[in-house]
Amino acid sequence: MIPFCLPQFIYSSLDETLKKAKKKSKKIKNKDQLLVFFTKLYSDLDIIHPFREGNGRTEREYLRQFMDYVCKKNNLEEYFLDYSKVKKEEYINAIAKADATCQYDDLLEIFSSILRVKNKKHKVKTKDYK
C-alpha cells in the first residue's frame, strides 16, 4: 500500500514541496537534470494525494505547465511528456514503486522514454489514466 500524506498535513506538505520545487527548478541546465527533477517531483506530488479522484490528471497537467515554465525560464528546449507512449500498467507500477520506496529508476526510465521536444505546431494531448 502506498503511504499517502495524512489529511492534516496535505496543505503544509504541498506548500513545502512546491516551494522547494520552485527553488530547485532554477538550477536545471539540461535535459537530464530536467528529467530527474520532474521524476522526483511527480512522485512527491503523488504522495500528497489531496483529491479522492483526479490526482494523476492534476499532477500531469501541473507538470506540463511547470515544465513549460522551467524550460522557458532556464533557456532550455521546450519539452513535454507524451503519456500516450507508455503502457498504463507499467506507468502505475513505476509510480507506486517510486512513491513507496523512493526508488525512482523505473519512473525515470519511463519519463526518459516519453520525453519529447515540443515543436511550435505541437498541441499536447493528455492521456487520461483513472
The domain tally of the chain equals 1
Could you tell me if residue 95 is inside a domain?
A: yes
- pLDDT tens digits, one per residue of 26-79: 999 999 999 999 999 999 999 997 666 778 888 999 999 999 999 999 999 999
- pLDDT tens digits, one per residue of 99-128: 999 999 999 999 999 999 998 655 555 555
Q: Are 57 and 129 in contact (CB under 8 A)?
A: yes
Could you tell me if residue 2 is inside a domain?
A: no
CATH number for the domain spanning 76: value is 1.10.3290.10
* pLDDT, position 1: 64
- The CA distance from 26 to 66, in Å, is 12
Domain carrying residue 110? 17-117
Q: List, in sequence order, every residue forming a beta bridge with 81; answer none if it has no partner.
A: 115
- The CA distance from 42 to 45, in Å, is 5
Could you tell me if residue 93 is inside a domain?
A: yes
Could you tell me if residue 12 is inside a domain?
A: no
* Residue 130 confidence (pLDDT) above 90: no
Could you tell me if residue 112 is inside a domain?
A: yes
Could you tell me if residue 5 is inside a domain?
A: no
Could you tell me if residue 111 is inside a domain?
A: yes
C-alpha cell at 124: 499536447
